[in-house]
């Protein structure tokens, strides 16, 4: 977490407003003083009140902040109109190693997230809210704190719909929405084949709304201040602010809240500016895309503009790679991690992804065999669109953009072997530890 004076003056803080006012996490008393209770739809004339809330979210143009950037209002409506009483699942897993924004938000403004969950549950007329958080020591105190916060709200009569807190195994693919659904149904936290999609048939075979914690916190503010307020920052196609985790060669790495559409150069400036000359920028996270240091600064951080470059906002991750680091080595490490983290259920994850990771490893640190230059791009291409979930697609995108952006390095590695940068310490935070299969999925 970082704060700088320039930031305080130059941008509007919404989700991080409390933090900028007090410099600490907001407990329930402070939250209620700042925002008052969540404006839950009245229980009298409930149907109309729910419809009005749904419409407010649709008009605001809020999109999911967990990775897919899908319109939240449309998802709410699909769930509300499904067969049976809905279930709401709050996704606080944040399995992206380069992302810290959900953890930060749950620390600093937990009651905005819980308000958003209560509002979404009311809007779709759900009977229960499942709050999914990672198991393990790294965030254990946060999970305990949230469990107490949930109980405190219930005692205070702030929530009408019960919230259950769950601790799930923390693997990269365990935050996929079908993984959460399968786990809540008593199975492994591994992706399921779709259809049916969770919004049709999810937890207990009921229509299930799965939303990221940041998305719900925005929803809590939209319900209070309305769609025009929400749209007063960001772009017409991508309104509102977003949380970004910026790391790498910047002076003030950490979580920053900025309007959607902020050019990546301005994002880096908000993170204190670059600390060394850059070679490239990774946008979106481990499933993200490399952009060259020349191209990146002008590119707006918003789904439509990123999509035009074949990139995406992902979970709001930006990593500034210094020029002396080796992008191929960075990518090779991430691909190795993604291969170990797959659920090994589908062909591309069982064979294609480990093969691509091995090729990258060879390219970065070894002596590439003669077939590699022809074989690797083909293998990378064949990863996409061929798994039950988007895991191989994400890996494919990362690998393909690495081959394009670091094309000169590829040539150099092929001709003369590893560059000095390949031996430098990693910039991307690739977790060590055993493969997901060894830890278990339940």
Partner 1 sequence: MNRHHRLAIDRIACDGRGLCAELLPELIDLDEWGYPVIHGQAVPADLLGHARRAVAACPVLALRLERAAGDRPPPAA
Interface residues toward partner 1, by CB under 8 A: 64, 66-68, 70, 74-75, 78, 91, 176-178, 192-195, 197-200, 210-212, 345-348, 350-352, 379, 382, 386-390
Closest CA to 260 of 295, 234, 233: 234
CA distances from 310 to 257, 291, 293, 340 (A): 24, 10, 16, 25
Q: x/- site string to ligand SF4, residues 390 to 409, per CB under 6 A?
A: -xx-----------------
CB of 66 to partner 1, least distance (A): 5
- 102 makes contact, choosing from ligand SF4, partner 1, none, with CB < 5 to 8 Å by partner type, with none
Size of the site for ligand SF4 (CB under 6 A): 13
224-243 exposure pattern, b = at least 16 Cβ within 10 A, e = fewer: bbebeebbebbbeebbbbbb
Using the rule CB under 6 A, give the single segment among 132-140, 257-265, 293-301, 344-352 that binds ligand SF4: 344-352
- 173 makes contact, choosing from ligand SF4, partner 1, none, with CB < 5 to 8 Å by partner type, with ligand SF4
> Rule CB under 6 A: which of 135-194 touch ligand SF4?
173, 191
Q: Using DSSP bridges, classify how beta strands 254-259 and 241-248 pair: parallel, antiparallel or unpaired.
A: antiparallel
- 182 makes contact, choosing from ligand SF4, partner 1, none, with CB < 5 to 8 Å by partner type, with none
CB of 431 to ligand SF4, least distance (A): 17
Q: Tokens for 163? A: 């919230």
Peptide linkage before 212 cis (omega within 30 of 0): no
Query: Rounded to an integer, what distance in angstroms lies between the CA atom of residue 311 and that of residue 291?
Result: 9
Residue 343 touching ligand SF4 (CB under 6 A) = yes
237-245-406 Cα angle (round to 5): 85
CB of 176 to ligand SF4, least distance (A): 7
Query: Rounded to an integer, what distance in angstroms lies between the CA atom of residue 244 and that of residue 253?
Result: 10
Q: x/- site string to ligand SF4, residues 357 to 396, per CB under 6 A?
A: ------------------------------xxx-xx----
Residue 339 touching ligand SF4 (CB under 6 A) = no
Report the residue closest to ligand SF4, judged by CB: 387
Nearer to partner 1 among residue 182 and residue 325 (C-beta): 182
Where on the chain is the footprint of ligand SF4 (CB under 6 A)? 173, 191, 342-346, 349, 387-389, 391-392
């Amino acid at each position: 977490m970082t704060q700088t004076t320039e930031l305080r003056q130059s941008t509007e803080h919404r989700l991080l407003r409390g933090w900028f006012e007090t410099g600490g996490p907001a407990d329930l008393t402070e939250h209620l003083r700042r925002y008052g209770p969540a404006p839950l739809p009245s229980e009298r004339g409930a149907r109309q009140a729910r419809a009005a809330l749904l419409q407010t979210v649709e008009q605001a143009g809020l999109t999911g902040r967990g990775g897919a950037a899908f319109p939240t209002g449309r998802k709410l409506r699909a769930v509300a109109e499904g067969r049976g009483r809905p279930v709401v699942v709050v996704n606080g897993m944040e399995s992206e190693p380069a992302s810290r924004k959900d953890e930060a938000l749950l620390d600093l403004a937990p009651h905005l997230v819980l308000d958003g969950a209560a509002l979404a549950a009311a809007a779709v007329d759900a009977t229960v809210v499942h709050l999914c958080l990672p198991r393990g020591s790294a965030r254990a105190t946060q999970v305990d704190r949230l469990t107490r916060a949930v109980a405190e709200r219930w005692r205070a009569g702030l929530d009408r719909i019960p919230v259950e807190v769950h601790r799930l195994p923390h693997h990269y693919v365990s935050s996929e929405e079908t993984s959460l659904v399968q786990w809540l149904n008593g199975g492994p936290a591994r992706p399921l084949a779709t259809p049916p999609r969770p919004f049709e048939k999810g937890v207990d075979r009921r229509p299930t709304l799965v939303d990221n914690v940041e998305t719900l916190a925005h929803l809590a503010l939209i319900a209070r201040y309305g769609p025009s307020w929400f749209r007063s920052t960001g772009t017409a196609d991508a309104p509102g602010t977003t949380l970004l985790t910026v790391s790498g060669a910047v002076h003030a790495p950490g979580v920053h809240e900025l309007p959607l559409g902020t050019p990546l150069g301005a994002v880096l400036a908000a993170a204190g500016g670059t600390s060394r000359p850059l070679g490239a920028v990774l946008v979106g996270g481990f499933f993200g895309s490399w952009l060259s240091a020349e191209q990146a600064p002008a590119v707006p951080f918003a789904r439509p503009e990123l999509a035009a470059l074949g990139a995406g906002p992902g979970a709001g991750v930006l990593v500034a790679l210094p020029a002396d680091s080796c992008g191929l080595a960075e990518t090779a490490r991430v691909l190795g991690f993604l291969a170990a983290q797959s659920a090994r259920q589908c062909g591309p994850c069982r064979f294609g992804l480990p093969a691509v990771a091995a090729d990258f490893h060879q390219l970065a640190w070894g002596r590439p065999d003669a077939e590699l230059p022809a074989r690797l791009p083909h293998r990378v291409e064949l990863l996409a669109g061929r798994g039950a979930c988007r895991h191989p697609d994400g890996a494919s995108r990362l690998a393909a953009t690495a081959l394009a952006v670091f094309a000169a390095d590829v040539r150099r590695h092929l001709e003369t072997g590893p560059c000095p940068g390949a031996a430098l310490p990693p910039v991307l935070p690739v977790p060590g530890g055993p493969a997901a299969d060894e830890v278990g999925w339940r």
